[in-house]
Amino acid sequence: MTASKGLFSSSLISEAVISSFPETYTIRPLERDDYHKGFFECIQVLTSTGDVSEERFLERYDYMKNLGVHYFLVIEHAGKIVGTGTLMVERKFIHDLGSVAHIEEIAIRKEEQGKGLGLRMIQALSSIAKNVGCYKSILGCSARNEPFYEKCGFKRGGLDMNQYYEEEKSSWERG
Ligand SMILES: CC(=O)SCCNC(=O)CCNC(=O)[C@H](O)C(C)(C)COP(=O)(O)OP(=O)(O)OC[C@H]1O[C@@H](n2cnc3c(N)ncnc32)[C@H](O)[C@@H]1OP(=O)(O)O
């Protein structure tokens, strides 16, 4: 299967994972209208987002959709976005032109944590990674979240090294 404009298509998510969600919860690709369903409030359990207008959100949304390397998933419940997760596909020259998935921005609203939604989000993203031919998924996390990712089937790999170019952004991530 090739990764192209279909990246925002639900068909890349494993049916078994979709049907494992509780009845009133839906996992699906991010949509333009999600700005009004609390996408940013949801992601703010992870980090600061800045004050992003709808216009800037839509501009970035269209850019990423056209780029064809990002998969943004959300979990919707009662008309509200309660979970987010991202997967980026990096295509390489090594490993016979292999592809690696980077999992990022996993966020479950506080009141929805502990219900298995984070685990299912990771399972959904992993199923996409497999469906587009990635040979592995990698992510960076704090020590606090290591047990969660172990439950999701991840193992500790190498060190995560960062170099910041904007002091303000580094403080967002430390927060
Ligand atoms: C790559 C990245 O994005 S790293 C950043 C991750 N995101 C954040 O830190 C933002 C704030 N936190 C969250 O959004 C959520 O707490 C998440 C995403 C870390 C976990 O999502 P949840 O929906 O609460 O986790 P879920 O209920 O699916 O838990 C699955 C299992 O992991 C366990 N678990 C979850 N978080 C933790 C933790 N911090 N420490 C130990 N175990 C944990 C659960 O107890 C559960 O175990 P069980 O199956 O034995 O009962």
ipTM for the complex shown? 0.98
pLDDT of residue 117: 98
Which of ligand 1's atoms lies nearest the C-alpha of 119? 28
CA–CA gap between residue 23 and residue 35 (Å, rounded): 23
Nearest CA to ligand 1 atom 33: 148
CA–CA gap between residue 151 and residue 141 (Å, rounded)? 14
- Kindly report the protein residue whose alpha carbon is nearest to atom 32 of ligand 1: 148
What pLDDT is attached to residue 80? 98
Question: Can you give the pLDDT at residue 111?
Answer: 98
Segments making up each domain of the chain, as ranges:
5-174
Residue found by looking up tokens 């170099």 in the block = 163
Is the pTM for the entire model greater than 0.90? yes
Pocket residues: Cβ below 6 A from ligand 1: 45-46, 103-108, 113-119, 139, 141, 144-145, 147-148, 151
Å from CA of 108 to ligand 1 middle:
8
**CA nearest ligand 1 atom 19, residue:** 145
Spans of the chain, pLDDT less than 50: 1-4, 175
Report the CATH architecture of 5-174.
Answer: 3-Layer(aba) Sandwich (3.40)
115 exposure class (CB count in 10 Å sphere: 0-12, 13-18, 19+): middle
Measured in angstroms, how far is the CA atom of residue 152 from the centroid of ligand 1?
A: 9
- What atom of ligand 1 comes closest to residue 141's alpha carbon? 4
Q: What is the pLDDT of residue 63?
A: 94
